[in-house]
Structure 1
Amino acid sequence: MPQTPRTRFGIMTAPMQVDYHDVLRVWREADAIPDIEHAWLFDHLMPIGGDLGGPAYEGWTLLSALAAQTERLRLGVLVTSNRFRPPAMLAKIAATVDIVSGGRLDFGIGAGSRPSHPLARREYEAHGLPFHDSAHAVGSLAEACTVIRRLWTEAEPFDFDGTYLHLTGAFGNPKPVQRPHPPILIGGRSAAVLRVVAEHADAWNIPGGDIGDVIRRSALLDRYCAEIGRDPASITRSIHLPVSYEEPSSTREAIGEAIDAGFQHIVLGLPAPYPADVAQWVTDELIIKSV
């Protein structure tokens, strides 16, 4: 009888409205606690909450710095906006972080912020980045996953002439440490993105909330996998759950619902400011009491 996959817990520190040293402190604390297995940043260039003129750090640059100052944690960006960086450039950045970390990168990517989120959309206009419609975002995400994987694995230069991406003499060197490549985690909840997940992802992440909707989205992913002949169990189910310092029981309840729904990769979003010894608190109050 197959064993149920073990639940793996991690933390997320959104790098906005905080100082670099605040994030570094939490990650170093977490790195010393085996019950916390992974840690994440997000990918926004401007704050999407709180003081809209406050600080927001670039995710991949910060991730590389944290990779160099941790030893054990799996780490990643939950999730990278495919709209921000050309995919071949992103493949190079991610390979560099995988090398810096000694092979600990989980590569998170998504289609980018939805058009209905004005606080996210403003960062594209502020940085001179194009904001295409959803069909373009999803189509280019699928091509990006293909190109990035090829850059990580192929030994010879190649050309790629897709609908959205056009590369000539594409080649990645050095390769990532992990073989055949870092795990690819795709985040999103729309049906169109779930089709890309079925085709390309090793893991799928969805923001928590209505657990009924989360379960329906997971079942839809199962269906898309079946349509292409893929075992749905080959895709790790990951969920981001916001942490309440004031009411940890509500967070524990959400964790229990997620585990019961088949989500074995739990990302606990830590609101700032981070209390002293917050990683140990997460372990004692949320992780140990939920398993």
Structure 2
Amino acid sequence: MSHPSFGLMTAPQQVDYADVHRVWREADRIPEIEHAWLFDHLMPIGGDPDGPIFEGWTLLSALAASTERLRLGLMVTSNRFRPPAVLAKIATTVDVVSGGRLEFGIGAGSRPSLPMARREYDAHGLPYHDAEHAVESLAEACTVIRRLWTEDKPFDFDGTHHRLTGAFANPKPVQRPHPPIVIGGRALATLRVVAEHADRWNIPGGDIQDAISRSARLDRYCEEIGRDPAEITRSIFLPVAYDQPETTRAAIREATGAGFSHVILGLSSPYPAGVARWLTDEVIGKSR
């Protein structure tokens, strides 16, 4: 397995912009932290349900302009929130602003089992279809976005869930042929979309044996369509326990030992002073 890559995630809820900006600027100066992430929710999914939360892509663009080295993205964009052609334009803008550092994270959208996330759709006038619709829509969105990033002439797209006429994108992303596509999720239907479209697959933590099982299922789905499973980097999200760093270190060792070479460490707010340096010294450095 290749050397593990470590990043951090700051959920932009129950925090001020200055707090997130401080952590990212600190992390940008620490080579051991290679990537940084936000999430994509419109209302808080933890803490005060009426507390502050920032829109992910807007904040990501600001942080892209404030950093120089970190690769960056949303873990992961809800495909339910934005039409794919609009999302492709937004993502291209961030890739240009960052000088080609975007990791394009996308997923089917919030699970029905998470009521705090479910409410944001009604609150913003957004439709919430069933899981089958969401996964089919995700697959079509990935196709549309990739074509907009790579094709030099306008095209029409007549899908089941998305229809475009004269679709075209200019400028293109800085990264060629396009930014890495990171698809998040653990459902088997989503894994089929991962097999076809993703450069990285992220699973949101949980039981490591379940993650290993789903990684093996992804291997089989890749083989069914004639794709080398090794082309898809395995990524995992792990929460950080400030008061029990050994718990996080053990989770990292377990995950990397199971083949998850891309590790995203979730920081809870409020963020302690010097948290990125602490994360590097007490968690990343001691987990190797």
Shift of 1:120: 0.4
Alpha-carbon separation, structure 2, partners of 1:139 and 1:195:
10
Matched, 1:132 2:129: yes
Residue 58 (structure 2) aligned to one of 52, 56, 61: 61
Runs of 5+ unmatched residues, structure 1: none
Shift of 1:5: 1.2
Residue 168 (structure 1) aligned to one of 165, 169, 176: 165
Q: Counterpart of 1:82 in structure 2: which amino acid? A: N
Shift of 1:164: 0.6
Alpha-carbon separation, structure 2, partners of 1:285 and 1:237:
24
Partner of 1:13: 10
Q: Counterpart of 1:194 in structure 2: which amino acid? A: L
Shift of 1:116: 2.0
Matched, 1:240 2:276: no
Partner of 1:32: 29
Q: Counterpart of 2:137 in structure 1: which amino acid? A: S
Shift of 1:225: 0.5
Matched, 1:157 2:154: yes
- 1:168-222 Cα deviation digits (max 9, x unpaired): 0000011000000000000000000000000000000001121111111111101
Partner of 1:197: 194
Partner of 2:283: 286
Q: Counterpart of 1:239 in structure 2: which amino acid? A: I
Residues matched between the structures, number:
288
Partner of 1:117: 114
Q: Counterpart of 1:262 in structure 2: which amino acid? A: G
After TM superposition, the score normalised by the length of structure 2 is: 1.00
Matched, 1:48 2:41: no
Alpha-carbon separation, structure 2, partners of 1:86 and 1:140:
10
Matched, 1:221 2:218: yes
Shift of 1:6: 1.4
SS of the residue corresponding to residue 230 of structure 1 reads coil
Alpha-carbon separation, structure 2, partners of 1:220 and 1:286:
30
Runs of 5+ unmatched residues, structure 2: none
After TM superposition, the score normalised by the length of structure 1 is: 0.98
Q: Counterpart of 1:138 in structure 2: which amino acid? A: V
- 1:239-287 Cα deviation digits (max 9, x unpaired): 0000000000000000000001100000000000000000000000111
Q: Counterpart of 2:120 in structure 1: which amino acid? A: E
1:79-118 map, 5 Å: 79-118=76-115
- C-alpha RMSD of the superposition: 0.4
Partner of 2:228: 231
Alpha-carbon separation, structure 2, partners of 1:5 and 1:91:
30
Partner of 1:257: 254
Residue 266 (structure 1) aligned to one of 263, 267, 275: 263
Greater than 2 Å deviation, 4+ residue runs: none
Shift of 1:127: 0.1
Q: Which stretch of the first structure deviates more once superposed, 28-37 or 115-124?
A: 115-124
